[in-house]
């Protein structure tokens, strides 16, 4: 049987029972107030109360309907203002994403006070004003963002620092990030921005202090961290070399001080060893440079370090030559090593051996520097014809790199 039929039967049954109850005993209800009185049955009184309740419910629903309609119809209602602000904010963010800065600024600035998320509008508007190079307007919008949402001070400060860095306002950005890191020392993106700013300022000592924290929190990728650490210590070594030259006579203390701060694993890096030895040589500290290069080359053969080893003047030239000749056993045809051996042979006065090494190096790799060394040696040995032939080969090497241009005919 259908449920609706059952419901109808139940209603009819209840109605019949109610009618029988009313007919059997209608009851008596008396309401008296001062000189007024109302007499009726219980059932009529209940019907009147139910009717009044239904009327009250109907009036309340009608009032809500009229108020809701008023909000929708009235263009200045809070509902309509919020709806228009959200529409303008959406359009403004789309214009911002497409790079239409003027339209984005106008829409976002207008919608920000009434939008559901005013902070996003203010920050995007500040960036749009920045792109238009209206920096005063950009800073003003950031201040409005803070006044509107004080609890978003971190997001606002990060945005401000980014914009200041992009404008080249490095000192202002440093002040912003310093304040941010003081209030929120665990904010990792602020730490990353600070490291980028120190690179731009070339403030290598302060950046060096950040390196352990950057590594501990994995702020950068491993490759980025390594590149940054190399950049820092190369710059610090260069600065130390400049300070070392100010002593009279020049002293290696500042250079050694920086080198001792380099982490031990990085002291095996050929590029840092090269930089360290170059700074030592720049102040005439040849002997410690030779020792450092010799120890490094025992651990790892490297062409750049071999090249410098052939140029540096150690305490014992014979021992230096002997050490380099041992490397020749594993690298018999290395042109860089053969050139270095030729130069070390010259330091030991072994002219014939130097010539053999230079010739072997030039045969392995036709290099203009090797050619120049051989020409100079042959000239001093009195072999002018051989020197002239070698000089022609060197000129041919240089001419080979020249552009093809018209030349006069030979006569």
Rounded (10°) angle between helices 135-148 and 153-167: 170
Nearest to 279 by CA among 321, 316, 310, 233: 233
What residue ranges do the domains of the chain occupy?
222-315
- The backbone torsions φ and ψ at residue 123, rounded to the nearest 5 degrees and listed phi first, read -65, -45
Q: To 5 degrees, how large is the angle CA 346–CA 347–CA 352?
A: 25
DSSP state of 114: G
Q: What is the pTM for the complete model shown?
A: 0.75
Question: What pLDDT tens digit does each residue of the chain (411 aa) get?
Answer: 567 777 777 767 766 666 666 666 666 666 667 677 766 666 666 677 777 788 888 888 877 766 655 555 444 445 456 577 788 888 989 999 999 999 999 999 888 888 788 899 999 999 999 999 999 999 999 999 999 999 999 999 999 999 999 999 999 999 999 999 999 999 999 999 999 999 999 999 999 999 999 999 999 999 999 999 999 999 999 999 999 999 888 888 999 999 999 999 999 999 999 999 999 999 999 999 999 999 999 999 999 999 999 999 999 999 999 999 999 999 999 999 999 999 999 999 999 999 999 999 999 999 999 999 999 999 999 999 999 999 998 888 887 777 888 878 765
Are 295 and 277 in contact by the 8 Å Cβ rule? The answer is: no
The pLDDT, as a whole number, for residue 76 is 44
What is the distance between the alpha carbons of residues 38 and 122, in angstroms, rounded to a whole number?
67
Q: To 5 degrees, how large is the angle CA 276–CA 277–CA 281?
A: 125
Greatest alpha-carbon pair distance for the chain in Å reads 151
Q: Which tokens belong to 325?
A: 């000749």
Q: Of all helices (H) and strands (E), which one includes residue 292?
A: helix 286-299
Q: Which tokens belong to 306?
A: 């071999």
Rg (Cα) of the chain, in Å, rounded?
Answer: 45
What is the distance between the alpha carbons of residues 256 and 245, in angstroms, rounded to a whole number?
13
Q: Which tokens belong to 245?
A: 């030259």
What is the distance between the alpha carbons of residues 20 and 270, in angstroms, rounded to a whole number?
110
What is the distance between the alpha carbons of residues 177 and 196, in angstroms, rounded to a whole number?
11
The pLDDT, as a whole number, for residue 407 is 79
Owner of token pair 């920000």: 112
Q: Which tokens belong to 189?
A: 């993106």
The pLDDT, as a whole number, for residue 204 is 96
Nearest to 358 by CA among 389, 390, 329: 390
The pLDDT, as a whole number, for residue 346 is 96
């Amino acid at each position: 049987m259908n449920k609706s039929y059952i419901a109808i039967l139940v209603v009819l049954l209840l109605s019949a029972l109610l009618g029988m109850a009313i007919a059997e005993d209608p009851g008596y209800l008396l309401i008296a107030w001062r000189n007024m009185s109302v007499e009726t049955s219980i059932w009529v009184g209940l019907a009147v109360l139910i009717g009044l309740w239904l009327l009250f419910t109907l009036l309340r629903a009608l009032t809500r309907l009229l108020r809701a309609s008023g909000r929708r119809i009235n263009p200045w209602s809070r509902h309509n203002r919020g709806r228009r602000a959200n529409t303008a904010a959406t359009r403004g963010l789309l214009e911002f994403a497409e790079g239409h800065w003027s339209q984005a600024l106008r829409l976002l600035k207008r919608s920000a006070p009434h939008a559901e998320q005013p902070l996003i509008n203010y920050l995007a508007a500040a960036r749009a004003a920045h792109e238009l190079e209206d920096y005063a307007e950009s800073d003003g919008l950031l201040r409005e963002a803070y006044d509107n949402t004080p609890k978003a001070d971190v997001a606002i400060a990060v945005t401000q620092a980014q914009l200041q860095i992009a404008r080249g306002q490095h000192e202002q950005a440093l002040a912003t990030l310093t304040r941010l890191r003081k209030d929120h020392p665990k904010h990792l993106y602020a730490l990353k921005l600070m490291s980028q700013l120190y690179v731009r300022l070339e403030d290598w000592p302060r950046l060096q202090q950040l390196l352990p924290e950057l590594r501990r929190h994995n702020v950068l990728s491993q490759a980025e961290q390594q590149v940054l650490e190399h950049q820092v210590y190369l710059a610090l070594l260069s600065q130390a070399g400049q300070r070392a030259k100010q002593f009279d006579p020049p002293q290696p203390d500042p250079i050694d001080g920086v080198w001792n701060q380099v982490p031990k694993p990085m002291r095996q890096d050929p590029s840092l060893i090269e930089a360290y030895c170059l700074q030592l040589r720049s102040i005439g500290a040849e002997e410690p440079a030779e020792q450092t290069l010799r120890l490094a080359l025992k651990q790892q053969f490297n062409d750049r370090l071999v090249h410098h080893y052939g140029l540096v003047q150690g305490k014992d030239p014979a021992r230096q030559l002997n050490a380099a000749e041992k490397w020749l056993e594993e690298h018999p045809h290395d042109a860089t090593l053969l050139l270095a051996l030729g130069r070390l042979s010259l330091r030991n006065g072994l002219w014939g051996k130097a010539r053999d090494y230079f010739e072997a190096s030039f045969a392995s790799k036709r290099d203009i520097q090797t050619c120049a060394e051989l020409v100079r040696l042959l000239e001093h040995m009195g072999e002018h014809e051989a020197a002239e032939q070698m000089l022609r080969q060197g000129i041919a090497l240089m001419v080979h790199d020249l552009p093809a241009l018209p030349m006069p005919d030979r006569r």
